[in-house]
Amino acid sequence: MSVETVLVTGAAGFIGPKVVELLLKTGYRVIVLDKLTYAARVENGQPLSLKMVLESLRGEERERYSFLRWDIADPSLPLKDVLEVGRVNNIIHMAAESHVDRSTEGKSDFIQTEIHGAYNLLKAIREQNSGKGHRVRRAVFVSTDEVYGSIDRIAGYEGERWYGLSDAEVSGLIREHQFTEATTLGGGSPYAACKGGADLLVGAYFNTFKWDSGAGDIDAERMPVIITRGVNNFGPFQHPEKLIPLAVCTLLTPNAGGDKMGIPIYDKGLAVREWLHTSDYASAIVHAMQHGNVGEVYNVGSGNRCRNRDLLLAIFRACEPHIPGAAGFGRLADAAFDATTAGGIARPGHDLCYAVNCNKMRQLGWRPEHASDFEEKINQVVKWYVANTEWWTPVWTNPEFTEYWDRKYRKIQKASEGCFNFYTSDEENRTLDESLL
């Protein structure tokens, strides 16, 4: 039996290394194609996260891996040749600009990577599967739940109306309005809009080019595309610009962090997110490649939903044992949580609530393995950052990241009137088990 080959784009990012590791352990040959942007920790021209994954594998598994440094959005990229010469049987497309705060700066990077990257890949698949060579069997386009927009807008509870809702009322709105694969797309940020536009393009290519132009019959396997839409991911190797590692790195380096002493938290910490361990999203993506139906969309979630305020409380609890001299939440907050967004400061395009229905994915036989005991999973992530400072410190102290942090968040600190009080009433002892599950 011949070994199947999977082309993985954007594998040097956050989720990609877990996907690559799973594919290699499952017996696939893997070709990684990545541009290596700021989001990839690079040493000697190689992404460190992938290098660390490869070092943990057996020699035979490592031999089935190869790496190409290319920009998926470059129209001169000979993608068709990569598919043919590499004998690519399957594709997992993850290449994307992914940070919402960066998308609000209005740069074209998101349009280039999300839209043009998807187009270049779709064009190559169409050409490959229309010829006489071997066919691409499955192509999974990895997307996000953010393409649906936000439940607060869908339900008519934006801004101040949302701030006044109890957890029970928020849970009721989630049950009524949670996203299904049929929910109309309505991304609220440039990032979400670009991802949604790419999803629409994937669907349009499937609907248009699944036809055999010669015989006029439908041949769905000519465009064997599948879309997965995952919720917020967390786990090791996540770039410090994202909320969980940003909070962890700030708390673990209150002195070495220099001026990066505040944790940017919008909308009074009352926004709701659903969190999925990156190992679980990786397994869902590979499962969809193996068992998904072409032309279909699959939501991927965990059911672990909570307000950002409560997530940060859990991070504080996990970090406290690793901070010399920290004595209780109050001191920890005073020392390392200086002048966050007190009040209702919001970023442009900010969404207040995501929640997905992933019954369709579960019907394929997939289940998350890391969804139970969410707070303990946060503890494990904190321990990883404690044990791997050599990975994230160069990113944290990089002048480019410092300049970005100052540009995006300094004005938030100035606009705040002191520390945001997360410890009102009984919230000091609040755990994630009491959150919006």
191 given a catalytic annotation = yes
Which tops the pLDDT comparison, 406 or 255?
406
Strand pairing class (29-34; 5-9)? parallel
The CATH number of 1-149+185-230 is 3.40.50.720
Residue of higher predicted confidence among 330 and 254: 254
pLDDT-derived band of residue 219, with 50, 70 and 90 as boundaries?
confident
Q: Is the dihedral of CA 92, 301, 202, 2 positive or negative?
A: positive
- Provide the total of helices (H) and of strands (E) in the chain, helices listed first: 19, 12
Residue of 191, 266, 298, 409 with catalytic role:
191
Q: What is the mean pLDDT of residues 203-208?
A: 96
Max CA distance (Å), the chain? 75
Catalytic annotation, pick one of 34, 61, 71, 145:
145
Contact 371, 235 (CB under 8 A): no
pLDDT confidence bin for 420, thresholds 50/70/90: very low
pTM: 0.90
Torsion angle defined by CA atoms of residues 380, 381, 385 and 386, in that order, rounded to the nearest 10 degrees: -20
Is residue 146 annotated as part of the catalytic site, yes or no? yes
